[in-house]
Structure 1
Amino acid sequence: MADLATPEFLSTLKAAFPPGSPDSPSHLWALIAVVSFSASNVTEAVPVVFKYALDDLVQAQMQAGTSQDVAHAEQLVLARKFRESVLRAGLLCGVPRAIDSLIELHKVMPEHLRDTKPLRDTHKPPAEWDRGGKEVFETIYRETAPSIFNLVDTAYPDLAWFCITVGYGMLYGGTDTLSTIEQIYNMVATLVAVDAPRQIGWHLGNALRNGASLEEARAVRRAALEVAGRAGVKWRGAVPDVEEPATE
């Protein structure tokens, strides 16, 4: 099913996103595509998306006359964003899909863009992950954080602990590889693929609360729907749309 990620389809996805700055072209479209394919269990498309995005970056670097050191640093950032995006998506769509996707991605990963040790501090005590997780959670949910936490904590206190310490602490807050808005979009794309409308609505709202434009948020939702639909995902009901913030 890797043929689902054709150059024509990926080019169309890219064109539907707001452009990045001339000095820093955005590869948000590619992160959404790779997460959507991985979460939809089309793991063989993951390396195809990466190779397309890497070639796109290399071409832009050549046109800009980017130095070798800077080019390598930018390519490493892209590679790490791909790996981290797939890993984090695994919390919501299932670790086996993340494992399969990362194994497929590794097969095409250039040697100089591979990591050989964890990016996270594996010796950090749990209490620090807990504190950091609360900070990440509050940053993402903003003013809705207390009500969402209370909802989860009331459902099962151990669920709240897992979400904060393991999810938002160790996983989402373990590295700064993804920005806050990239993390939110990562969750939106994954949740679209697994048909979780309540949480899709939460995180589309979080995107706007964290400064995303309506155009960008809508492009992310549309791309996630297009990729997951192409991969065969069926939704039981309507997928939440991006709601414009209320005006005074």
Structure 2
Amino acid sequence: MDERSISAELLRLCNKVQQEFPTPTIGEEKWFLLILSALTSAGKPGLAADFYLHLIEQPQYSSFQARQQLMRRLREALVKAVSIIGVCRPLEAIMCIDAVTAEGDKERTCSREGWRADDENHRRGTDWLMKLYGDNLKQIDEIFNNQRDFGWISREITYGLYLSDHTILDGAETELVVLSGIMAQDLPKMVGWHLRACRRIGFSMEDCEAIQRCIELCIEFAGVHLGPMPKVKDIEHEV
């Protein structure tokens, strides 16, 4: 086991996010998905190793089975992040985690063996897109009619392969990963879309406000400056 300890600064960030995160309504053991996605997306994938070591020190991960489940969830968050930020930073993060993982804790399953871009994949991706976007998807589809490669990628890959697969992370957890990754890239239009999506899948306005504050804490920690971002109140009329 690697004997490095988490930095005082990163520990303060973890504690602050845990305090701010709306755990009573969103659920336990979800806050760390937000931190992992935000820091990786903001250009700090190397911190994933220390973050992982910090997590497995918590009493709820004292058993082998709990650490295996944690690894699957962390890996799935990074797999989903690939569809939002590209492969390099998530790959760097998971390689850093792997380098400090005890040999006995290695988790070697593959969640997407046998995946096919078939009718079922298309249906699942389209259904999740519709749940998040609803009638707003029509305007985007008009663009996709002109730029068909991106329409295909969106339905078959971004949503079909990655974001509509809820076997490890559910829909709410997936949106935590997505919103964090998008905010870290300073993309206000898409931040608005996914704040709206969070509301549509059941997050309250207060939940969204707290989640956005947590993401901002992570991005500030990473030293990334963001331009003006929409708030949930700005998109509430669209929900």
Q: CA deviation at 1:172?
A: 1.8
> Per-residue displacement from partner, 1:87-132 (whole Å, max 9, x unpaired)?
2112222211111111011122344543323111425353332222
Larger RCO, structures 1/2 (Cα 8 Å, 6+ apart): 2
Instruction: State the AA in 2 paired with 1:199.
Output: M
The answer to whether the 8 Å contact 2:117/2:156 transfers is no
**What corresponds to 2:46 in structure 1?**
44
Structure 1 spans left out of the alignment, 5+ residues:
63-70
**What corresponds to 1:240 in structure 2?**
230
Change (3 A) 1:219 1:125: same
The answer to whether the 8 Å contact 1:4/1:230 transfers is no
**What corresponds to 1:162 in structure 2?**
153
2:214 is the counterpart of 1:210: no
Change (3 A) 1:30 1:5: farther
2:3 is the counterpart of 1:12: no
TM-score calculated relative to the size of structure 1 = 0.82
The answer to whether the 8 Å contact 1:39/1:90 transfers is no
Q: CA deviation at 1:168?
A: 0.5
The answer to whether the 8 Å contact 1:19/1:25 transfers is yes
> Per-residue displacement from partner, 1:146-185 (whole Å, max 9, x unpaired)?
3254244145111011011011111123451111111112
The answer to whether the 8 Å contact 1:193/1:228 transfers is yes
Change (3 A) 1:200 1:151: farther
The answer to whether the 8 Å contact 2:60/2:66 transfers is no
SS of 1:122's equivalent in the other structure is coil
SS of 1:216's equivalent in the other structure is helix
The answer to whether the 8 Å contact 1:120/1:175 transfers is no
SS of 1:177's equivalent in the other structure is coil
2:154 is the counterpart of 1:128: no
Q: CA deviation at 1:223?
A: 1.4
**What corresponds to 2:169 in structure 1?**
178
The answer to whether the 8 Å contact 1:140/1:180 transfers is no
Q: CA deviation at 1:27?
A: 2.1
The answer to whether the 8 Å contact 1:4/1:231 transfers is no
The answer to whether the 8 Å contact 1:5/1:49 transfers is no
2:82 is the counterpart of 1:80: no
CA distance in 2, matches of 1:178, 1:138: 19
TM-score calculated relative to the size of structure 2 = 0.85
The answer to whether the 8 Å contact 1:119/1:175 transfers is no
CA distance in 2, matches of 1:5, 1:156: 44
